[in-house]
Amino acid sequence: MNIQRGAFIVFEGGEGAGKSTQVARLAASLRASGYEVVVTREPGGTAGAEAIRELVLDPEYSGLNPRAEALLFAAARAEHVSALIEPALASGKIVICDRFVDSSVAYQGLGRDLGAERIRELSHWATGGLLPDLTLILDIDPTVGLARAGQVNAAPDRMESENLGFHEMVRSAFLMAANEHPRRYLVIEADQSPDVIANSIATATTSLLG
Ligand SMILES: Nc1ncnc2c1ncn2[C@@H]1O[C@H](COP(=O)(O)OP(=O)(O)O)[C@@H](O)[C@H]1O
Ligand SMILES: [Mg+2]
């Protein structure tokens, strides 16, 4: 029997942009429409990758070597794609992932200055070339996003603790990725209300899923 491959939808954006909020809303709305949905996140998604997440976001390791950091994200991603994302897509499910390759390109490639191309290549190796069918970029002024995130997490993680210039670089990296592949990306102004944002996302995913 031939099962139709599922769809891979990724949310990207800075801290406090509203990714987790919209991931949950989209999952609920797709499930209500009868789709089988897997919700996951990066770094993480499997036991091994969640252990790497703990390590890589822990402020205890504030001075972690940037290359080590990039490799840890890639290691978590390799595990996540092979053990969870690919099997779910192969069985026809919709996978919604909170962050993916573009976050590595933004944070490690540009934020840590390791080079966007190098990080994209490393990620490509880790994923076996898997790309999202649709990436939703929630675009927010980092000052606003960090303030929102601060109301949720009392203790900022290792990425949230970076300076404003770092977060502005990350923001521009997401916009650059969207600019290069407008057909696979939707940029949404994330300072709108959650309802307005959810509506834009619903329109884009309906058109993707047909
Ligand atoms: N569109 C929005 N407008 C105002 N506040 C929002 C919006 N979306 C989410 N929030 C709030 O901002 C905070 C961060 O949202 P969250 O979804 O956790 O962001 P992220 O996962 O991108 O870091 C939460 O308190 C959330 O309720
Ligand atoms: Mg979140």
Along the 210 residues of the chain, how does pLDDT read in single tens digits? Answer: 678 999 999 999 999 999 999 999 999 999 999 999 999 999 999 999 999 999 999 999 989 999 999 999 999 999 999 999 999 999 999 999 999 999 999 999 999 999 999 999 999 999 999 999 999 999 999 999 999 998 877 788 999 999 999 999 999 999 999 999 999 999 999 999 999 999 999 999 999 998
Ligand 1 close to Cβ of residue 209 (< 6 A): no
pLDDT of residue 1: 62
User: Would residue 1 count as lying in a domain?
Assistant: no
Nearest atom in ligand 1 to the alpha carbon of residue 196 is 1
User: Would residue 2 count as lying in a domain?
Assistant: no
User: Would residue 161 count as lying in a domain?
Assistant: yes
Q: Which-ligand-closest: CA of 139? A: 1
Q: Per the structure, how many domains does the chain have?
A: 1
Ligand 1 close to Cβ of residue 2 (< 6 A): no
Please give the residue range of the domain that contains residue 125: 7-209
pLDDT of residue 152: 79
User: Would residue 47 count as lying in a domain?
Assistant: yes
pLDDT of residue 179: 97
Ligand 1 close to Cβ of residue 142 (< 6 A): no
Ligand 1 close to Cβ of residue 16 (< 6 A): yes
Q: Look at ligand 1, atom 16, and give the residue with the nearest C-alpha.
A: 18
Per-residue tokens: 80: 């996540």
The C-alpha torsion from 42 through 47 and 52 to 57, rounded to 10°, is 60
Give me the CATH number covering residue 128.
3.40.50.300
User: Would residue 135 count as lying in a domain?
Assistant: yes
User: Residue 3 C-alpha to ligand 2 middle, in angstroms?
Assistant: 32
**Per-residue buried b or exposed e for 40-66, using 16+ beta carbons within 10 Å of the residue's own CB:** bbbbbbbeebeebbeebbeeeeeeeee
User: Would residue 76 count as lying in a domain?
Assistant: yes
User: Would residue 95 count as lying in a domain?
Assistant: yes
Ligand 1 close to Cβ of residue 148 (< 6 A): yes
**Per-residue buried b or exposed e for 76-102, using 16+ beta carbons within 10 Å of the residue's own CB:** bbbbbbeebbbebbeeebbbbbbbbbb
pLDDT of residue 153: 79
User: Residue 151 C-alpha to ligand 1 middle, in angstroms?
Assistant: 9
pLDDT of residue 3: 83
pTM over the 0.95 mark: yes
Which residues share a beta bridge with 41? 98
pLDDT of residue 32: 98
Ligand 1 close to Cβ of residue 145 (< 6 A): no
User: Would residue 65 count as lying in a domain?
Assistant: yes
